[in-house]
Amino acid sequence: MHSRKDIRNIAIIAHVDHGKTTLVDQLLQQSGIFRDHETMQERAMDSNDLERERGITILAKNTAITYKEFLINIVDTPGHADFGGEVERIMKMVDGVLLVVDAYEGCMPQTKFVLRKALEQHLTPIVVVNKIDRPAARPKEVIDEVLDLFIELEASDDQLEFPVVYASALNGTSSMVPEKQDETMLSLYETITQHIPAPTEKVDEPLQFLVTLMDYNEYLGRIAIGRVNRGIIKQGQSVTVIMRDGKSKTARIEKLFGFQGLKRVETEEAGAGDIVAIAGIKDINIGETIADPQHPEALPVLKIDEPTMQMTFLVNNSPFVGREGKWITSRKLRERLFKELETDVSLRVDETDSPDAFIVSGRGELHLGILIENMRREGYELQVSKPEVIIKEVDGRKMEPVERLMIDVPEESMGSVMESLGSRKAEMVNMINTGTGTVRLEFLVPARGLIGYNTHFLTLTRGYGVMNHAFDSYAPLIGGQVGGRHQGVLVSSETGTTTHYGMMGVEDRGILFLEPGADIYEGMIVGEHTRDNDIIVNICREKQLTNVRSATKDETVKMKTPRLFSLEQALEYLNDDELCEITPKTVRLRKKILNKSERERVAKQSKAAKAGV
């Protein structure tokens, strides 16, 4: 055994918005990977449009930076708990972690979730206190918080001796003391090369490689990414693939890629300790081992997080089908969902009795919402049902997923937030008064209690509240109604175009979701009722014009601003008898049964069936 002294493999951990991606941009920029004539777009590691818009990392990616004689492989981890499946696997590829913490906000729940996984793997941590240039920065207190968190997560004595680098990723500066910044990232490069252990690897032993991440390419097919655990891997080599169930098959390494900056570079061979991408093996999956045919020894199979939420994806059958999308058939929908399974292991797709409906299970609303958003951008039209949590049975008891919720709220909103969470069966576990007029509250709450809570929470805190949650555990199912919508809806009785006059006529009945001039159909949800029952309205009504001038001539009346939903808000808003229609340009809410008399008939039947039970 000897260590590859020139290699450092690290994962980077941070809460959403703490500046992880900007930090990597700076490390790339200052390492001279980009030549002068090459321009580098900001947030280079977030390659997907959605990641750029939302400022979150969804898929783990890796990049390689050369500094002096070192090759530093940096693997980016998603900060959001919905992508926890990725996190656990990444920790198997690296020897150390870079924990990036905001100099003002300090530690957040997602950071805790990812850090726990890193410490369990006995990885060496380095703490980077970022945004040190912020006027409200409080580096000393933040370091104390990090230390408390390490102790709470039962870090070893060595892990508690972590080095701290103070940085401003935005300005490209870093230093070992909070008071004064050096003009470069030198302090960080040096800390990484000195503190993170080099991979101790067995180059002269038989090959072993664990597939940790998947990518997909139209030309190369499935691409397996991971770290060479021992031995040497070469292009054109014959290997044995040991599958998750213990069976094995032979395959050939068609192409082998190393990483340089953000590019994949074709390479002839790689040794133990290197992070590489392999193309040419059909049907390979995450958690499988690529080994030497003479010594086919499997590495421990990776645990993949169970899905906790499911939705039904249906073919669009609304009266407006095909207006905007180019993919509308069930064959195309099925193809697209199964293609997603190639790279996303936390996703499950189950076929139903109907060829037009598929049950899709994922790690949370965000996970499923991002899949839907990607599909609509690719030109798909589809409908989805209300998100539901997955209840599982353990030893004859029904168990439901519970989330750990962390909330920062202004003191004056604290009472109403606690009351609203109480009705959603939340249990408070911690409360810290920060002394700055805000209070940090920590709760354990059933995942179904959080569906649709975000919008309500922002209203209660007038937009000042910050809410974060991460999956905690499965707990016995709580009986009764948890969360859900209490208001009824306004349902359109006509197919046509909304008019100013028609909308004014129903304004006092509730809040409308559309603007005048929008196309609507019968059975579509056009607003929220002020009471808890649904009512039918006609907002396509035109004003009858006569040649008689009225004494009280038309006054210009200002309409209330309608409530326009984003995709996430629309999904959260749904009830059991409703669907959300998603097309490349529009998100519409509708009743499952569009016709009013048909709806009433079905409601009567189910009521009678319940009474007869």
The residue written with tokens 């009795």 in the block is: 353
CA distance 451 to 390: 13
Is 22 annotated in some ligand binding site? yes
Nearest CA to 527 among 484, 568, 564?
Answer: 564
Is 133 annotated in some ligand binding site? yes
Concatenating the DSSP letter of every residue in 56-96 gives: ---S--EEEEEETTEEEEEEE---SGGGHHHHHHHTTT-SE
Concatenating the DSSP letter of every residue in 346-368 gives: T-EEEE-SSTTEEEEEESSHHHH
CA distance 344 to 83: 10
CA distance 408 to 463: 11
CA distance 269 to 281: 17
Is 21 annotated in some ligand binding site? yes
| Helix, strand, coil distribution of the chain in percent, nearest 5 | 25, 35, 40
Helix, strand counts (H, E) of the chain: 15, 37
Is 130 annotated in some ligand binding site? yes
CA distance 207 to 170: 42
Interhelix angle for 109-120 vs 139-152, to 10°? 50
**Is residue 181 a contact partner of residue 166, using CB atoms and an 8 Å limit?**
yes
Residue 430 neighbours by CB under 8 Å, 6+ apart? 440, 441, 442
Pairing mode of beta strands 232-234, 578-582:
unpaired
CA distance 149 to 157: 14
φ/ψ region of 550 (left if φ > 0, alpha if ψ in -120 to 50, else beta) reads: beta
Is 249 annotated in some ligand binding site? no
DSSP 8-state assignment for residue 509? G
Sign of the dihedral defined by the CA atoms of residues 309, 312, 318, 320, in that order: positive
The residue written with tokens 């293609």 in the block is: 339
Sign of the dihedral defined by the CA atoms of residues 376, 380, 382, 388, in that order: negative
CA distance 87 to 91: 7
Is 255 annotated in some ligand binding site? no
**Is residue 128 a contact partner of residue 140, using CB atoms and an 8 Å limit?**
no
Nearest CA to 259 among 270, 249, 251?
Answer: 270
**Is residue 399 a contact partner of residue 392, using CB atoms and an 8 Å limit?**
yes
CA distance 518 to 494: 13
Is 282 annotated in some ligand binding site? no
Let me know the angle formed at the C-alpha of 261 by 187 and 7, rounded to the nearest 5 degrees: 60
Amino acid of residue 313: F
Is 529 annotated in some ligand binding site? no
Q: Give whole-number Cα distances, 217 to 120, 222, 286, 375, in Å.
A: 33, 6, 16, 17
**Is residue 268 a contact partner of residue 276, using CB atoms and an 8 Å limit?**
no
Is 17 annotated in some ligand binding site? yes
Annotation: binding site: 17-22, 130-133
Annotation: binding site for GTP: 17-22, 130-133
